[in-house]
Structure 1
Amino acid sequence: MSPEEFRQEAHRLVDWMADYMQNVSQYPVLAQVAPGSIKKQLPDSAPVLGESFEKIFKDFEKIILPGMTHWQSPTFMAYFPANNSCPSILAEMLMATMGAQCMSWLTSPAATELEERVLDWLRDAKGLPNSWKGVIQDTASSATLSAILSARERHSAFAINQHGFTGEHRYRIYSSEHVHSSIDKGVKIAGIGQSNIVKVAVDEAFAMIPSALEKAIQDDLAAGFTPLCVVTAIGTTSSTAIDPIDAIGDICLKYKVWHHIDAAYAGTALLLPEYRWMIKGIEKADSYVFNPHKWMFTNFDCTAYYVKDTQTLINTFSMTPEYLKTQQDDEVNNYRDWHIQLGRRFRALKLWFVIRSYGISGIQEKLREHMQLAQWLYEKLDEHPQFELLAPMPLNTICFRYLPASGDIDTANERLMQKINDSGKAFLSHTKLNGAFTIRIVIAQTNVKKTDVEMVWQLIQEAAYSQH
C-alpha cells in the first residue's frame, strides 16, 4: 500500500469510525452468533497472494462485525466498562502511526517525560501521597503481580530473584473472597502457591473485616508462616465494596506486611473530592493501582500503578544487559525497569489527550452523572416489591435480583438476565453474593444517558413479567 493509497483508505476508515461511534447503539450489544460460526467463514489457510484492502474491509463488515460485542454501546452494563473517547482514539492512531517502542528514555524521551508528568497530575488530582511515583502498565493484573513480586523481594532481601525459592520461605497473601481473580493468578505466577492465599471474612457490606485479618495473620505466625502481603480493594469486582484501608494499614505496619490497594475500577472516583474518604490512611500503604481504561474514557490498555518506594520496584525488575545501557541511565527513568515486560507502548499519549480534552472538571462532571443515573435505577429497584437489592451501592454498580412468585429464585434470575442479553438491546452480567445468583448493572459507559437507563429498566421489568 502506497502512502497515497493509505491516505485514501484512512479517510474512509475514519468516516466509518465516526459513523460507528454515532450509531453504536443500533448494533446488538452482545454478539448474536453461535460458537464456531465466525471461524467457519474464514479460510483454512492464509492467502498466498495479497488481497485488496477493499476486499479485506468488506470481509471485516460481513464476517467480523457481526461477531463483536459492542463495549462502547451505552447499554453495555456488564462486568466493568472498557471505555474510550474521541480524544483517546485519536491519540491511539498517532501511537500506531509512530510505532515507537518506549522501553527507555533514549528510545523516546518524550514518552518517558510525558508519562512522568501525566502520572504526577493524576496522583495530585486523586489525593494520593505526593511523594509516590507512578508508572503506566498494561493491566491491573500485571500491576498487582508487580506488587506481590516486590513484596517477595523486599522480604527476602532480593534473594529469591537471585537464588530462587530454597524452601525456607512459607509466605502468605491475604485478601477477601471478593477481590479480583488476578490476585490468585499473581500468587501462582510468583511461585507462592494458591494454597497460600488466605481469604479473610467480610462484613455485611462485603468489605474486609480488619479484626479477622489480624487474627489470620496471628494464626499464620503461630503456624510458622510468614505474612507477606495484604491486597485490599477499593471497589471489589462483585459489588464495589470498599475495604477499610486505614485500619488495615495499621495492621500491615504492625506486622511489617506489604499493603497493596486494588482500585482498578473505582479509583477513578477519587477525582471527586467527595469520594476521598475511600483512601483515608493510604499513606500507610505500599502500592496502589487503578485503570484509566475502565472509567476514565481512555481506551484499553492503560493502567496507572503507584508505589511509595520506587527503589524496591526497580530492584525487583531491573535487568540491564550491555545492549540496553545508555549514557543517560543515571539521569532518567527507564520505565522498562519498573515492570515485568521490556517493551512499552506510548500509553501516556492517550492519557494526556483525554485529560487535556476533558479537563479534570469535565471528567468529574461525567462521573457524577453516571452515579446519579445509577442512583435513579437503584431507587426504582428498591421501591419495586418484586426486586431485591443485594449489596450497598457506594458508587454506580447495582447488585439485585428478581423475586418470582414461585419457583427457584436463581433460575428465574438467570433466565431474566439471559432474556435481556439475547434481545441485543443491553448486556448485563452476574456474580454470586452470599451464594445467591446476583445480577450486576454498571452504569459507566462514556456516553450513557438517562434514556438508556430508562430503557434497561423497562427491559428488566418486561423480562420479569414474561415469567409470570
Structure 2
Amino acid sequence: MSGHMNPEEFRRHGRQVVDWIADYLAGIESHPVMSQVKPGDIRRALPPAAPERGEPFEAVLSDLGRILLPGITHWQHPGFFAYFPSNASGPAILGDLLSGGLGVQGMLWVTSPACTELETVVVDWLAGLLGLPEHFRTDRAGGGVIQDSASSACLVALLAALHRASGGRIAADGVTRRYTIYVSSQTHSSLERSARITGLGAAGVRVVDVDPRTLAMDPGHLRALLDRDETDGAVPAMVCATVGTTSTTAVDPVPAVGELCRERGIWLHVDAAYAGVAAVCPELRWLNEGVAEYADSYSTNPHKWLLTNFDCTVLWMADRAPLLDALSVMPEFLRNPATATGSVVDYRDWQVPLGRRFRALKLWAVIRWYGAEGLRAHIRKGVALAQELASWVSADPGFEVHEPHPLGLVCLRPVWPGLAADAADRATMRLLELLNASGSVYMTHTRIGDRVVLRVAIGGVATERRHVEQAWEQIRWEHAALSATLP
C-alpha cells in the first residue's frame, strides 16, 4: 500500500469519495447541526503516531465516518443559521476537485496560462454580473483577483494604500511615519489585524462612531478624526467602508465617506464580503452606491452567499499600479520571457503568498452551471425567507426585530418581562445555548446598543421555508419554556 495510487485505483476510490459526499449531502439533516464532541475527543480517537505501512483507502473513509464526522459542525445543514452561509454547491465541489486533480501552481502566467487567463475572465464576468464599474475590469486600469478570504483582501488593499500614501517609500523603508486607518465599531476585525501585520499596530486604527439606529458609519465623526490626525502630523492612509457588516448587515454611507476620501486623497476600501454578491440582483444594486465614483478597492465573497465553496474572495482595484508596485519582487528564478514583456498578469504580485491555487475553476463552474438567473434566484430566495421570518418576529409580542434587515440576516431579541437588562441578556444567552444544544439549529449572537440579540442568517443551499419556520417555532417554544422558569 506504500506505492503511488495508479489511475485505475484513483478511479475506483474517486467514485467512492464522490458517492460518500453525495450520500453525506443527501442525508445531512440526520446529523446534529453543531458538533456534540468535547475538546480532545477526536484526538484521543486517532493513533498517536503515523502508520509505518500504508493502509487501504477504504480505511480512510471508514475513519472519516466513524471518528471525524461526529466532530463536524455541518455548515451545509439546512438548520445552519450561524455566522453567514458558507455555500458548497455541487458545481463548486466538482470545480475544486478538478483544481486538485490538475495540481496547478498559478503564481505566474507562464506556470499555467489557463489558470491566470481563466481568472481574469471570471472576475470580469462577476464584475459585470454585480454591476461594478468598468474600470474594475482586468483589461482596464484596475482588475480583479481571487484571494483566499476577505481578510487577505483587506490586507493587500491596505498595503496598496500605504504604498500610495507614502509615495512608494514604505516598500523600501518600512513604516517610518505615523499612518492611520479608519474603521467603525462594526467593521470586521480583519482590519485591525491588517494594521498589526503591516506594522501600524492597534494604535494606528481609529474607530469612527456609528448611527445608533442603523449602525452605519458617521461621516461627521470621520471628518473630525481626520482633521485631528492631520493636525497632529499623522498621515491618513485608508478608510474602510462596509457594505453589510458581520454583526447586523449595516451599510455604511459610501458616497459621503468617499467624498471625504476624495477631498483628502485617502484610499477608500469597500468591504462587501457578505452583501456584495447580492448585487447580482438588479433590485439590490443600491448596495453599490458610491462604489464606481469613490472606491479604490472593493471585495466580496462568493464563498459566502454565491454558491461557491470556501475559499473564494474576489478583490477588485480601481488602479492596480499601487498594489503591484507594493508587492512585486522579482528574484532570478522567477524571471521569464512572458513576464519580461509586461503583457501578462502575474497574480503572485496581487497577493501575500507567492503560490496560489486554481480557484477560478470552481467559480467558473458555478457561474456556468447556474447562470445569472440561477444566481439571482438563490439570493432572492434567501432575502424572501429572511423578510418572512422578520414579519413573524414583528407580529409576536414576545420578541423584537432589529431594523433594517434588507438581506438574509435577521437579528431578534426575546422580551423578558420584569428582568433587568443584565438578567435579560443572560436569559437570551441561555436561550441560545438551549437552541444550539437541540441539534436541529445553530445560531449565533451579537450586541446592539449593549443588548444581546440572536442572529439568524439565512441563505444555505439546502435551507427551505419549512426549515426557517421550524427554527422560528423552536425559538418561540424554548423562549416560552425558559420564561416559565424565570422569577
- Structure 2 length-normalised TM: 0.94
Alignment equivalent of 2:394, drawn from 382, 391, 395:
382
Partner of 2:139: none
**Alignment check: 8 A CA contact 1:249 1:281 kept:** yes
Partner of 1:299: 309
**Alignment check: 8 A CA contact 1:241 1:394 kept:** no
Q: 2-side partners of 1:25 and 1:319: how far apart?
A: 49
Which runs of at least 4 in structure 1 moved beyond 4 Å after TM superposition?
none
CA offset at residue 26 of structure 1? 1.4
> 2:199 aligned with 1:191, yes or no?
yes
Partner of 2:14: 10
> 2:481 aligned with 1:466, yes or no?
yes
- Structure 1 length-normalised TM: 0.98
Partner of 1:176: 184
Give the SS at the match of 1:76. Answer: coil
Give the SS at the match of 1:456. Answer: helix
**Alignment check: 8 A CA contact 2:150 2:301 kept:** yes
How many residue pairs get aligned? The number is: 466
Give the SS at the match of 1:328. Answer: helix
**Alignment check: 8 A CA contact 2:446 2:455 kept:** yes
**Alignment check: 8 A CA contact 2:149 2:311 kept:** yes
Q: How does 1:237-386 map to 2 (within 5 A)?
A: 237-283=246-292, 284-329=294-339, 330-386=342-398
CA offset at residue 258 of structure 1? 0.5
CA offset at residue 321 of structure 1? 0.9
C-alpha distance after superposition, 1:86-141 (max 9, x if no partner): 00111111111111111111111111111111111111111111011101111110
Partner of 1:452: 467
CA offset at residue 311 of structure 1? 1.0
Q: 1-side partners of 2:362 and 2:27: how far apart?
A: 23
Give the SS at the match of 2:135. Answer: coil
**Alignment check: 8 A CA contact 1:288 1:307 kept:** yes
Partner of 2:140: none
Using the TM superposition, name which of 16-25 and 372-381 deviates more. Answer: 16-25
Q: 2-side partners of 1:266 and 1:30: how far apart?
A: 25
C-alpha distance after superposition, 1:302-359 (max 9, x if no partner): 1100001111111111111111111111221011111111111101111010001000
CA offset at residue 216 of structure 1? 1.1
CA offset at residue 445 of structure 1? 0.6
Q: 2-side partners of 1:27 and 1:121: how far apart?
A: 37
Alignment equivalent of 1:420, drawn from 435, 440, 448:
435
Partner of 1:440: 455
Alignment equivalent of 1:158, drawn from 168, 181, 189:
168
Identity %: 44
Letter in 2 for 1:178: Q
CA offset at residue 3 of structure 1? 2.2
Letter in 2 for 1:332: V
**Alignment check: 8 A CA contact 1:29 1:426 kept:** yes
**Alignment check: 8 A CA contact 1:239 1:391 kept:** no
Q: 2-side partners of 1:194 and 1:77: how far apart?
A: 32
Q: 2-side partners of 1:237 and 1:366: how far apart?
A: 20
Q: 2-side partners of 1:160 and 1:171: how far apart?
A: 11
CA offset at residue 65 of structure 1? 0.3
Letter in 1 for 2:322: T
> 2:210 aligned with 1:202, yes or no?
yes
**Alignment check: 8 A CA contact 2:187 2:245 kept:** yes
Give structure 1 stretches of 5+ with no counterpart.
none
Letter in 1 for 2:246: T
**Alignment check: 8 A CA contact 2:151 2:191 kept:** yes
Give structure 2 stretches of 5+ with no counterpart.
137-142
Alignment equivalent of 1:91, drawn from 95, 98, 115:
95
Give the SS at the match of 2:329. Answer: coil
Give the SS at the match of 1:359. Answer: helix
C-alpha distance after superposition, 1:366-414 (max 9, x if no partner): 1111100000100111111111123420211111111123441111111
RMSD: 1.0
Q: 1-side partners of 2:439 and 2:368: how far apart?
A: 35
